[in-house]
Amino acid sequence: MLIAEFIFMIMMLYLGSRFGGIGLGVVSGIGLVIEVFILRMPPGKAPVDVMLIIMAVVSCASILEAAGGLKYMLQIAEKILRRNPKRITFFGPLVTFTLSVMLGTGHAVYSIMPTIGDIALKNKIRPERPMAAASVASQLALTGSPIAAVVACYLGKDVLQLPGLENLNLLHILMVTFPATLLGVLALSLYSNFRGKELEDDPEYQRRLNDPQYRDLILNTTKTTLNEQLPASAKMSVGIFLLSLAIIVLIAIFPEIRTIGEGNRPISMGVIIQMMMLAFGAIILIACRTPVGKVPNGVVFKSGMVAAIAIFGIAWMSDTYFAYAMPSFKAAITDMVNDAPWTFAFALFAVSVVVNSQAATAKIMLPVAIAIGLPGPVLIGLMPATYAYFFIPNYPSDIATVNFDSTGTTKIGKWYFNHSFMLPGLIGVTVACTVGLTLAHLLIKV
């Protein structure tokens, strides 16, 4: 019966994935109702803490976007890229990686991706090489970001009860995940630099050159942000935002700053991130005189709020099932994980493929890891495996990247799984997990 119920849950997640975005969250609501009222499972916990972190971070980043700060950051990134056009396959992914680490979301990729493609095309470089790598890098970066929701999940009180993680803080996690994901990005960029035919030899590119509409789009269009005039407050808003990140990391390093009250228990970093993002969003709003009406119209706000609703339904339905099935589930996989703890990466990977969210994957699988007694360093080292939704090419940033490539070299293959993001994703996650496990065992002492 538990197997049948698990298959039902996967089917509901798959059905929701066909709609994507908000559809993924609300379709999971149907599954939740069936679990509770027909299958008679006690309702699990809604992922309120993760949703609040996403809302706080998205609010601050959206205000930054409305103030012109995001565009200012993109102009700096474009200047770096245009100074190094021949190295676009390395610099493009590094730029999207950096933006995602700073913003805690990968959705800034929509603004810079056309520029990456334009630079590659103008220099006769196959656009698939930097564009697919840059899309993957923007998501792989999240476990290395101090304000990403997935990182905050690993700072929950349940995780901190695992052996070896009692004194874990944000800096410990970033010391593992940041270099691990960075090396993963460099590895996938190295592979991408040599992938596929040269642009002039690509049959799809040549076919499009023979189509007058595509030919004009390919040869006579320049995509740039450098000619846009930004308000004087744009630079100030970036400075304020960077200050918020520095303060969050500082508070994480010195837990006594957040130790308040008689219990001598520090405030959780999830709560600190929420507080700081809301406060600094307000500071940007006031200091830069940002028009409030522009905030909900930006790309970051729309994408972020959609992600919050998707996680709401996904994690609630999944937590309901796993809390109900845990006794049997624990007995089935404990021996396997005890013999080879790294195999838990496959569980993280499989869930991420279905739910399209690193934070949701963490919320679903962390209780499982805790219940089976997974070693703390292994849990931290395998964090990059929460990113696997490149496997099925239906994530918005991947779809947008395909559409941005006017040459047709970045594509979803005839057989669906042979798409442009598959090998960069597999290489990036494998290298990041391997490096992450090594660093975690060296830096996190049990």
Please tell me the predicted confidence (pLDDT) of residue 332: 64
Please tell me the distance from the alpha carbon of residue 325 to that of residue 11, in angstroms, as a whole number.
Answer: 17
Please tell me the distance from the alpha carbon of residue 361 to that of residue 258, in angstroms, as a whole number.
Answer: 28
Q: Which of these ranges, 156-165, 200-209, 336-345, 398-407, has the smallest mean pLDDT?
A: 156-165
pLDDT in tens, 16-47: 867 766 887 899 999 999 999 999 999 988 88
Domain count, the chain: 1
pLDDT in tens, 113-140: 889 999 998 899 999 999 999 999 999 9
Number of H helices, E strands in the chain: 19, 0
Please tell me the distance from the alpha carbon of residue 178 to that of residue 146, in angstroms, as a whole number.
Answer: 9
pLDDT in tens, 414-425: 666 788 999 999
Average pLDDT, the chain: 87
Residue whose C-alpha is closest to residue 114's, from 398, 406, 409: 406
pLDDT in tens, 253-298: 887 888 887 667 778 888 898 999 999 999 999 999 999 999 999 8
Please tell me the predicted confidence (pLDDT) of residue 302: 86
Please tell me the predicted confidence (pLDDT) of residue 88: 95
Please tell me the predicted confidence (pLDDT) of residue 354: 73
Structure-token pair, residue 64: 């930054």
Please tell me the distance from the alpha carbon of residue 378 to that of residue 437, in angstroms, as a whole number.
Answer: 6
pLDDT in tens, 44-75: 888 888 888 889 988 999 999 999 999 999 99
Please tell me the predicted confidence (pLDDT) of residue 428: 97
Please tell me the predicted confidence (pLDDT) of residue 382: 94
Contact 202, 126 (CB under 8 A): yes
If phi > 0 it is left, if psi is from -120 to 50 it is alpha, else beta; for residue 445 that is beta
| Displacement of CA 201 from its chain's centroid (Å) | 34
Q: Which long-range contacts (CB under 8 A, 24 or more apart) does 154-158 make?
A: 154/362, 154/366, 154/379, 154/380, 154/383, 155/268, 155/269, 155/270, 156/49, 156/268, 156/270, 156/366, 157/268, 158/366, 158/367, 158/370
Using a pLDDT cut of 90, give the percent of the chain over it: 42
- Residue 398 predicted with pLDDT over 70: yes
Structure-token match 């996938």, residue found: 188
For residue 380, what are the domain limits?
Answer: 2-443
Please tell me the predicted confidence (pLDDT) of residue 328: 72
Task: Please report which confidence band the pLDDT of residue 446 belongs to, taking 50, 70 and 90 as the band edges.
Answer: low
pLDDT in tens, 290-312: 999 999 998 889 888 887 888 88
Contact 345, 382 (CB under 8 A): yes
Contact 164, 119 (CB under 8 A): no
Structure-token pair, residue 70: 């995001």
pLDDT in tens, 151-177: 988 887 677 667 667 777 888 899 999
